[in-house]
Amino acid sequence: MEPALQPKNGSRNTVSGIVVEALPNTLFKVELQETKEVILAYLAGKMRMNRIRVLIGDKVDLELDPYGGRARITRRS
């Protein structure tokens, strides 16, 4: 990526939530703690490589997509 296109460290919108439903292909429905909104999230690449298991009821940290797509699960709390 060109330097102008790289996201700045502070520009990532991170929130926390609780996993409500597990779907195929490492997709999850997550309820955000602040807004109680349920969104679709996928597992981050490092979590897949290290085979981190995410179960229903787990607290997770998410990075929200600025374009309104899916969120990425970056951490299991």
CATH number of residue 68's parent domain: 2.40.50.140
- What integer pLDDT is reported at residue 22 of this predicted model? 96
Whether residue 68 lies inside any domain: the answer is yes
Rg (CA), the chain: 13
Name the domain count of the chain: 1
| Within-domain flag for 8 | no
d(CA 69, CA 13): 13
pTM: 0.81
Domain that holds residue 70: 13-76
Domain contains 6: no
Residue 19 belongs to a domain = yes
Task: Return the residue matching tokens 């330097």.
Answer: 3
**Confidence category of residue 1, pLDDT binned at 50, 70, 90:** very low
